[in-house]
A and B are shown apart, each in its own frame.
Chain A
Amino acid sequence: MRTRILIFIFLFYSLNIFAKEVIDSNLAVNKIPDSLRKNAAAVMRYYKSEIDLTALNKFKQNESYAISILNKSADELAVIRELYNQFISIDKISATLYDSTGKEIRKLKPKDIYDRSTFGTGVEVHADTRLKLFTFNHKFYPYTVVIEMDKTFKSTFFMPVWMPQLVPYCAVQQSELKLKTPIDVPIRYKAHKLPDNTKMNSANTDAHITTQWSVANIPAVKKERNGNFEKYTIPAVELKTDSFELYNYKGSMTSWKGFGAFFFELNKDRDILDEQYVTAVKNLVGAENTDIGKIQKLLHYMQTNTRYIGNQYGIAAWQTFEANHVAKNGYGDCKGLTNYLKAMLKVVGIHSIEALVYAGEEQYFRMEDDFVANSFNHVILCIPQNKDTIWVECTSKNLPAGYLGSFTQNRNVLLITQDGGFPARTPHYSMTENRINRKFTINLINNKYSDELPVSIACNFSGLMQDELNHVVNSKTEKEILSLVGVQFKFPSYKVSSFTFTPTEINSENKIPKINEHVETIVSGITSGTQKRTFLNLGWLSNPLEDLTQGTERKNKFFIDKSFATTDSLIVHLPPGASIEATPLPFNMTQSFAKINLEVIKNENTLTIVRHIEQKEGVYEAKLHQDYVNMYNAIGNVNNKLSIVLLNK
């Protein structure tokens, strides 16, 4: 009986606990000031991060934060998606979901955390990094999640970056970062775009330095296209220590020289090939006596005999496979392939240097001169020559030696030498290199104004303007290329009769890849008739500028990432005696970022329309944004008016 009563009491007590309503009125969404709701899909109510560094190979981070999700476009910010690996362990995760009034709805249960490898989530085929994933998957807005996490880091090489806003559309009520470090391990930092009201305090004791940053009331901002022209577009604080430890290797982040020395040591002597491969390399090069010739032969050999396989497993993320492994198995990651080419070049007496880089089309600003820290995700090869430097992207199967393409051009890199690291800059491709010349020939002499007209197209693509095409031409089947040719022109309707793509030869005089394209098409919908007239509609030239139209006034500067020039010539052979009522009018427009020039030349029975457009890269003031949009629209309008009107006889 006594036991029964006890059970009853226990049950009652437990039920009582379950029934208890937990309300944290501070979390109620109505406590968010209206000023922070503007443009916001989420509001960080509070965020606290405490980093306690005890040694170069150990620091702990405690993060606790509450974020209110105002609509479904911000759901992702309520998801826990934490990566961990040999260097980062996640010691604790707790999360609680609250409704808009601050009433607790439910708590995370550890069994609900999905733990998986990162397979299929990126390009790395092999990585020790795993993922802990959890979401309340709540669908009723607004709601708030409160999350707390403890992590232990085993190297200061991976210092977290404090970004109070997380994303531009998240406003911040309160956010703070607290750092505690031993007095002999000072932390360096670099702040980006912190608001004026940021408070920073530092206090020293005999044993520790404590530094604290706090910000409040950061409004959300609408993300604007082409706004990425800095390392960070929203407030951020980067952290680093003067020295670090990684896999028992010690490194320094006080200078690029020291940082480079670390990588040199880590990868030292991994570029030595076994005798059988040395012999093969010598045979390959044969009697070739120029450096460029040797480089081209060995690069071609590597491109045809190896492939790229990502590897980020433990130290392999920073230390290359041995050259012998790549030679034997025919695959490697960027480090492995670069080291392999370096090893082969060494055999034939050519000195080359690995260069660390942050690759990516919009990643121009990652490595900064004044903040020495891990700013890289890729390696390329630099081959110094007497007159010039030859850069090689070793993971590409097509790019020639001496040309980098949009993935790594025009940015800072760190050369890794036995004397340490040296900053350098990759080549920049300008309007001279980046060009498209197109010629469309329409012959009306034999075809009159038939519904279907043969149109002959000859194009030359050069530099960055051929990067994408180069990849397609080199890796797709004829059928796939035909499908692409079948959609690339803006004719109303057309059939492709034939096509060829011919890359131009790369040599010491011509290092910039170019592709000649020749396409024969039968086009419908160019000619159309009213009762008295025939229209030849030529308004199908593509607009090479970007459509940066936005419905609201531009707030931030905009970035044009490359310069180029395109020339389109339309050559129309008209039947003799054709009575022309109207031809397109010449047009000119020049702005600091672009210019267009349209010329119309009448010569006997031939009418030639030449449209030349240039774009100049740069970061432009917000006030010029509307001019850019106007220019884009003007090109469209000129295009729409490209018609020849003939009177019927």
Chain B
Amino acid sequence: MQKVTFLSLIVVCFFINSKLFAQGLNVVKSKELLKEALEKTVYDIDPSAQAIILYESGLNVFYEFRREFKVEKIIKFLGEDGIGDLGTLNLAQSQEENILNLRITTYNIENGEIVTQTAEKSNILKEQLDKNRKLKKIQFPSIKKGSIVHYTYTLNEPGWVFVPDWYFQGDYPVLYSEFSARVPRWIGYSPTLRTGVLFKTVDKEKELNNCEACSYHSFVSSTDQLLVWVRRNIPAIKNENFVRSIHNYRERVKLNINEIKVNGIWKPIHKDWESSMKTVYIENGELYSQLNAKNAFLQSVLDSIVKGKENNLEKAKSIFNYVKNNFVTDDFSGAKGLKIDKVFENKKGTNFGINLLMLAMLKKAGIETLPVMGTTKFGEKLNPVIPSPFDFNFLIAQISIDKKNYLLDATNKNNIFGFLSESYYNGYCRIVKEKGGHLILEPDQIKNRNVTIATLKNDKNNSKATLIVERQFGVVSAFNLRQKLDNKDSVEMAAYTKEFAGSYSNSTYVKGTFENLTNTELPLKLKLEYGLNIDSTLSTIYFDPYIETFFDKNPFTEQERMYPIEFDYLNDDTYIFKIEIPQKYILDDYPKSTLVKYGEGEDITFRNVMDYSKESNTLTVNCKLNSKRTFFKVSEYESLKEFFSKVVSEQKKKIVLVKETN
């Protein structure tokens, strides 16, 4: 490893130098610019923004055993929310970390003059957050609408393999964001960018002065190279409905360190997924070794579980059921929650530990099985090219029986054999095996099939009718409902069922029962019964044929859309209502059957078929909503919104019953 000498001196020179090209935005460098910025109240990027980040930069410098991270930020405060959110700076540091050179200045303009106030000791509160972390809480002094705050600090950290991501985008608009790194030649790296625009690589540093998104690389000494990324005018990030995880859209640059040169030879660290997985999970760590161990402690339990099971599918099902019904997830169980013997003993473990235990049992039972690791939608999607082997937040089992693959997750008793919670369908996953391999899980692979069949039958002797509604829930709906109804006692269940039944027209709720609430091998069903009074004094009845609608309101409410539309699963909804026309009334009028289609490939279709049978004097309403894909581009938003508007509108239509005249 090469020694780095005089680096600090070089860094100082470099830092001053690198700021030259951004001076136009670093307003504190010039009195005129500062005054102009203090007087400015509206910014084109968002005229009603409550705060704007005028400038922010982060400089990362690698030393032999540590990293230094210098941060500079200039905030313009424009409103109450901005002051509330950004008026305090909280800096946490671990025992190994050091925060140095913290300087904070508030600028205000009073009677046309710039007033400067530097944060003093009384503005900085310190506390021991917990055993390992200290906290500095800085109140920016005298901030109000119009104020500008400038702060700088340097964070000294041990190690250099993990460089924190630099986010260009945050909760407030940013006019200028710069991330730079000074990387010695003995470190090999690969940056990954996620931005709304393409980054242009420029040859000269001064070209960074006028570009929206640019990067610049150069050698600044015989040992070091300088990498700079500049991004301008980035709007605030805002979550929208039907975005599975906003994390996947937040603009950032990530500097992956993937090799180092030792004695003239490059050693890979995390160069590609295959080698990375091998290093972290196969050759080292306890994951693979636990699976390959004899695990004799499992033998007797396993024998009793698979006893009498004739084939591998049955064996796999009973192992899956055993694990999901006897072990509970405990994310705070630490290292113990990962060790399958401890999980077995304590009957609880982490997601990884419980599914590893299931994998070990499946393997011991002679079933072909492999661990698969990925991230749920609550984390960031994995990059198929750049490895990030420490980002996984789930582990599941892939088993192969009679050439058919099944994915199993035994960490929740409401899970179904071969079905994963929709949050797991978040793109790229790695299969943990010697030869490597991957799997793609996409929401398009889940079909949530809900079926409701309702029947209205009239009492021949009076004007009363009985309404029976039978509903079968799709995999996702059933899972969510079972989760919600866990632990409800019989009184609560009765109350919930009544609430679920809601109020429909002039009906009175009679009773309701769930079927297969705890038996996940069978579909979850709900049967509801209502009594209905037909007001026979009315000459015309406008009858609502929708006891339930697919959507009560258009689910798309944004006036303008920033991000693509992502559904959690494919829809396959059916609603059938057989309405026996009440005695003494005739069906006078009903809506025409309709078909509403979205997209050239009929990606989403809504059918509403009205079928009147004279013979049985019954009108059957048959509604279906089907989708074939879950991802829609931003440009599709308006037409998608219009499609759903039509669906909502269709299910608002009524039928008209008129009293027989004779």
- A interface residues with partner B (beta carbon < 8 Å): 39, 71-73, 114-117, 119, 125-126, 135, 137, 139-140, 222, 304-307, 309, 313, 325, 328-331, 397-398, 451, 474-479, 482-483, 486-487, 490-496, 524-525, 528-533, 535, 537, 549-552, 581-582, 633, 636-637, 640, 643, 645
Contact = CB atoms under 8 A, between A and B. Distances in A.
7 contacts: A125-B137, A139-B347, A330-B142, A451-B649, A491-B553, A531-B591, A640-B544
A529 B650 CA distance: 9
Contacts of A530: 589-592, 653-656
B644 interface: yes
B652 interface: yes
Task: Point out which of A307, A451, A531 has the most chain B C-beta atoms below 10 A from its C-beta.
Answer: A307
A493 B589 contact: no
B50 A475 contact: yes
Contacts of A309: 87-88, 139
Contacts of B503: 633, 636-637
B348 A483 contact: no
A552 B491 CA distance: 8
B81 interface: yes
Contacts, number: 179
Interface in B547-590: 553-554, 556-559, 588-590
Interface in B474-510: 486-487, 491-492, 494-499, 503, 505-506
Given A397-B80, A487-B557, A532-B588, A492 B48 contact: no
B347 A475 contact: no
* 4 A-B pairs with the lowest CB-CB distances in the bound complex, closest first: A551-B495, A493-B554, A493-B645, A525-B649
Given A222-B491, A493-B645, 8 more contacts: A115-B130, A306-B144, A397-B80, A474-B80, A494-B554, A535-B654, A582-B542, A645-B542
A397 B77 CA distance: 15
Contacts of B328: 139-140
B649 A139 contact: no
B333 A137 contact: yes
A72 to B, nearest CB: 6
Interface stretch (B119-127, B156-164, B258-266, B273-281): B119-127
B165 interface: no
B520 interface: no
B47 interface: yes
A115 B133 CA distance: 11
A525 B645 contact: yes
A445 B559 CA distance: 27
B625 interface: no
Task: Point out which of A139, A313, A398 has the most chain B C-beta atoms below 10 A from its C-beta.
Answer: A139
B589 A533 contact: yes
Nearest to A452: B645
Interface string B512-549: 00000000000000000000000000001010100000
Nearest to B172: A477
Nearest to B131: A115
A360 B506 CA distance: 40
A482 B143 CA distance: 27
Contact of A329 (B125, B131, B139, B330): B139
B238 interface: yes
Contacts of B589: 530-533
B649 A475 contact: no
Contacts of A524: 554, 642, 645-646, 649
B285 interface: no
A551 to B, nearest CB: 2
A643 B589 CA distance: 16
A640 B123 CA distance: 58
Contacts of B209: none
B139 A482 contact: no
A530 B46 CA distance: 46
Contacts of B558: 483, 486
Contacts of A451: 649
Contacts of A531: 589-592
Contacts of A72: 486-487
Interface of B: 46-50, 79-81, 83-84, 87-88, 90, 122-123, 125, 127-131, 135, 137, 139, 141-145, 238, 328, 330, 332-333, 347-348, 486-487, 491-492, 494-499, 503, 505-506, 540, 542, 544, 553-554, 556-559, 588-592, 641-642, 644-646, 648-650, 652-656
Nearest to B92: A119
Contact of B137 (A119, A581, A637): A119
Given A530-B591, A530-B656, A633-B503, A328 B494 contact: no
Contacts of B542: 535, 582, 643, 645
Contacts of B653: 528-530, 535
A116 B130 CA distance: 4
A492 B649 contact: yes
Contacts of A331: 87, 139, 141
Nearest to B119: A329
B48 A551 contact: no
Task: Point out which of B128, B135, B589 has the most chain A C-beta atoms below 10 A from its C-beta.
Answer: B589
B88 A71 contact: no
B80 A493 contact: no
B128 A117 contact: yes
A476 B487 CA distance: 40
A645 B128 CA distance: 69
Contacts of B139: 125, 309, 329, 331
Given A117-B135, A119-B137, A478 B47 contact: yes
Contacts of A633: 503
Nearest to A306: B144
Contacts of B495: 550-552
A63 to B, nearest CB: 25
Contacts of B544: 640
B497 to A, nearest CB: 8
A2 B631 CA distance: 77
A325 B141 CA distance: 10
A70 to B, nearest CB: 9
Contact of A551 (B50, B88, B494, B649): B494
Nearest to B173: A477
Contact of A490 (B130, B553, B644, B646): B553
Contacts of B84: 307
B388 to A, nearest CB: 27
A39 B495 CA distance: 13
B654 A477 contact: no
A529 B591 contact: yes
Contacts of B144: 304-307, 330
Contact of A137 (B46, B128, B332, B642): B332
A95 to B, nearest CB: 16
Contacts of B486: 72
A125 B88 contact: yes
Contacts of A552: 491, 494-495
B378 to A, nearest CB: 20
Contacts of A643: 542, 654
Nearest to A496: B559
A528 B496 contact: no
B347 A581 contact: no
Given A533-B656, A549-B499, A645-B542, A119 B127 contact: yes
Contact of A486 (B122, B506, B559): B559
A643 B544 CA distance: 12
Contact of A117 (B129, B330, B556, B590): B129
A492 B128 contact: no
Nearest to A37: B489
A528 B591 contact: yes
Given A304-B144, A329-B141, A528-B591, A493 B641 contact: yes
A147 to B, nearest CB: 19
A528 B499 contact: no
Contact of A125 (B125, B128, B644): B125
A369 B540 CA distance: 61
Contact of B48 (A479, A491, A493, A550): A479
Contacts of B90: 119
